[in-house]
Amino acid sequence: MIFVLGPNPNDKYPIPGNRNVQFIKNTINKPNIVAGEYSYYDAKDGELFEEQVLYHYEAIGTKLLIGKFCSIAAETTFIMGGGNHRMDGSTYPFNIFANGWEAYVPTLEQLSIKGDTVIGNDVWIGRGATIMPGVSIGDGAIIGARAVVVKDVRPYTIVGGNPAKEIRQRYSSEVVDELLKIRWWDTKMELINSYMGAIISGNLGELLEMKTKM
């Protein structure tokens, strides 16, 4: 096995001279966004990741939760629950204007807030994808470029389109079950480095061996 060191997980910009690839955890300032180590955003023109998280107001109470080792391409947009309008009557947001209309502020129940948006570990989100409020994307999933994800995505599946639909499962159900038990992203970096070849090739035998050492 080849031992590798890897980038510093505390760097904002882990590739020297590149101001687009940013470790999300080290660039976010909003407490309602939480990201795991090594998850990165490949920005367009250097914008910060949290600029792509829209309608995310602390008063709503929901969070965007991102696991470890996720790859998020440029122009990916996360639409959060603060952008919701009432749908039981007029959808017009009278309350955001002054002169008396502000009295008609809807309750969170009337806005149908769907809860946290959760991105698992080792997820790849393609360029320009849109993730809608309250969606949960499972570990190891792949989201195609320009996909609009409106419902939960199972672990280790590939989805694409608008609205996003499942294209195929990456591995058999039996292999997926094993990978979800192994959870290589939760082990020590020394062990991840030692088994890097197995991780990037999906070598289940070696990954099971790594599991015995975790």
Give the three-state DSSP class for 91.
Answer: coil
Are residues 62 and 80 in contact, defined by beta-carbon separation less than 8 angstroms? yes
Q: What is the pLDDT of residue 60?
A: 86
Q: How far apart are CA 40 and CA 49, in angstroms?
A: 9
Instruction: Determine which one of 85, 151, 181, 213 is catalytic.
Output: 85
Residue 164 has a pLDDT of 98
User: Nearest 10 degrees: CA dihedral of 128, 132, 134, 138?
Assistant: -40
pLDDT tens per residue across all 214 residues of the chain: 455 678 999 999 999 999 999 999 999 999 999 999 999 999 988 889 999 999 998 888 899 999 999 999 999 999 998 888 989 899 998 988 988 998 888 888 888 888 899 999 999 999 999 999 999 999 999 999 999 999 999 999 999 999 999 999 999 999 999 999 999 999 999 999 999 999 999 999 999 999 999 8
User: Which residues pair with residue 137 across a beta bridge?
Assistant: 119, 153
Residue recorded with tokens 């995505």: 153
Task: Please tell me the predicted confidence (pLDDT) of residue 45.
Answer: 85
Residue 4 has a pLDDT of 60
Active site residue 56: no
Round the CA-based radius of gyration of the chain to a whole number and report it.
19
Q: Give the other-Cβ count within 10 Å of 195's Cβ.
A: 20
> How far apart (Å, rounded) are the C-alpha atoms in residues 77 and 170?
24
Which helix (H) or strand (E) segment is 176 a member of?
Answer: helix 173-182
Q: What is the pLDDT of residue 113?
A: 84
CA distance linking residue 89 with residue 7, whole number of Å: 52
Calpha distance 134→84 (Å, rounded): 12
Whether 73 and 126 have beta carbons less than 8 Å apart is answered as yes
Question: SS3 helix, strand, coil % of the chain, rounded to 5?
Answer: 25, 20, 55
